[in-house]
Amino acid sequence: EMKRSVVGKLCIGASASVPAAESLRLGENKSQKSEKFRVGVLGASGYTGSEIIRLLVHHPNYQITLMTADRKAGQSIASVFPHLVNQELPNMIAVKDADFSAVDAVFCCLPHGTTQEIIKALPRNIKIVDLSADFRLKDVDEYEEWYGQPHKAQELQKEAVYGLTEIHRVEIKSARLVANPGCYPTSVQLPLIPLIKENLIRVNDIIIDSKSGVSGAGRGAKEANLYTEVAEGIHSYGISRHRHVPEIEQALSEIAKSKVIISFTPHLMPMSRGMQSTIYVEMAPGATAEDLHRHLTNFYENEEFVVLLNGSEVPQTRHVRGSNYCLMNVFPDRIRGRAIIISVIDNLVKGASGQALQNMNLMMGVEETAGLLSVSLFP
């Protein structure tokens, strides 16, 4: 009998005997799952690009056949990321020189505003997961308002599926283009969507305090990201105007079937990776923090990558570092009728490249958890 641990959700045992017909079926599935898909990584020289590569190099179903990085064209990946020196990978090339007939799927890890025309020009047979913000907002006018430029692929925007995996799994499976969620929205939506759907919290008074490692700001050279600028302190930014606000509000409003407006403030922390969202909510009349915890536990009971902690256990970013897991817990506030939800992820994995791979696995018809079951790094 298959057994699963309550916290880790990992298989710890299996039956010793398998009927012959079942054994044959399992053998056929194994053969299917061993199929190799050719994968391209656009923007391989950035943090999310390198994280995608790290996750793909030992993946049983993917082979990286194309990597682009315009400013690093002609260079090996080891010259940019020495930790990948022992991997046999193609040299990086400029996007304009890429032969997309040699790939089945593409991870687009380019900055927002640079991907729309590139993706629009890709062959229709290629599956795409876009890690930028370019296809996350359904309203192209809202995109222009928050990102300061008109959307250049409006027809393609209508096709894009929002890739919060645990919530939109069915749509993702049949999608050609998936808009991978932002890191902050992932940490916020995973706990809030089930609670709003079940009418356990009020939607007119949601306060979100989020903190991220510096890698969330990207790899570009910026004065604000220098060590002496971020070390030994906390830096609030994007106060009341962070670009992830419309993405969060869009998802919560769809579930609530009414306009949801949140109060959201992000902070930069002096650490490389990790993200915590502390969410303050007013509960529906009669609801308790225990009700919220119970519903989230039931909602995510069969999900590998979302784990509800028990009792007074506090989720910590160090416990998800390098993994695709989201840990969360619910606490009663000292103010009657309110609760505090804490959610933690690795901003580069579940908040970006890990969730992108989870989505691509679904799109390509392979095991959803493949390549993503690594245990967190600690200490």
- Predicted pLDDT of residue 8: 47
- Predicted pLDDT of residue 35: 79
Per DSSP, 352 falls in state I
pLDDT for residue 15 is more than 70: no
Query: What confidence tier does 303 reach under pLDDT thresholds 50, 70, 90?
Result: very high
Whether 183 is catalytic is: yes
Q: Which of 108, 109, 183, 326 is catalytic?
A: 183
pLDDT for residue 86 is more than 80: yes
Distance of CA 107 to the CA centre of its chain: 13
Question: Contact 357/372 with Cβ under 8 angstroms?
Answer: yes
CA dihedral 124, 113, 348, 108 (to 10 degrees): 20
For 313, list phi and psi in degrees, rounded to 5. Answer: -60, 130
Nearest-angstrom CA–CA distance, 339 and 20: 52
Question: Contact 179/136 with Cβ under 8 angstroms?
Answer: yes
- Predicted pLDDT of residue 227: 77
- Predicted pLDDT of residue 5: 40
Nearest-angstrom CA–CA distance, 320 and 378: 9
Q: What is the pTM of this model?
A: 0.89
Quote the percentage of the chain above a pLDDT of 70: 90
Looking at 11-20, 138-147, 183-192, 304-313, which range is the least confident one? Answer: 11-20
Structure confidence by residue, pLDDT tens digits, 204-237: 999 999 999 988 766 666 777 777 788 888 999 9
Secondary structure string (H, E, C) spanning 157-226: HCCCEECCHHHHHHHHHCCCEEECCCHHHHHHHHHHHHHHHCCCECCCCCEEEEEECHHHHCCCCCHHHC
- Predicted pLDDT of residue 216: 74
Write the DSSP assignment of 21-52 as a string of letters.
HHHHHHHHHHHHHTPPEEEEEETTTSHHHHHH
Domains and CATH numbers, the chain: 37-180+353-364 (3.40.50.720), 183-345 (3.30.360.10)
- Predicted pLDDT of residue 219: 63
Most confident of 14-18, 115-119, 333-337: 333-337
Half-sphere exposure of 362 toward its Cβ, with a 13 Å CA cutoff?
Answer: 23
Q: How many Cβ atoms sit within 10 Å of the Cβ of residue 315?
A: 22
* Cβ neighbours for 17, distance < 8 A, ≥ 6 positions apart: none
Question: Across all residues in the chain, what is the average pLDDT?
Answer: 90
- What is the mean pLDDT of the segment spanning 86-115? 94
pLDDT for residue 163 is more than 50: yes
pLDDT for residue 12 is more than 80: no
pLDDT for residue 79 is more than 80: yes
Residue 159, token pair as written in the block: 């096709």
Question: Contact 69/49 with Cβ under 8 angstroms?
Answer: yes
Helix (H, G, I), strand (E, B) or coil at 279: strand
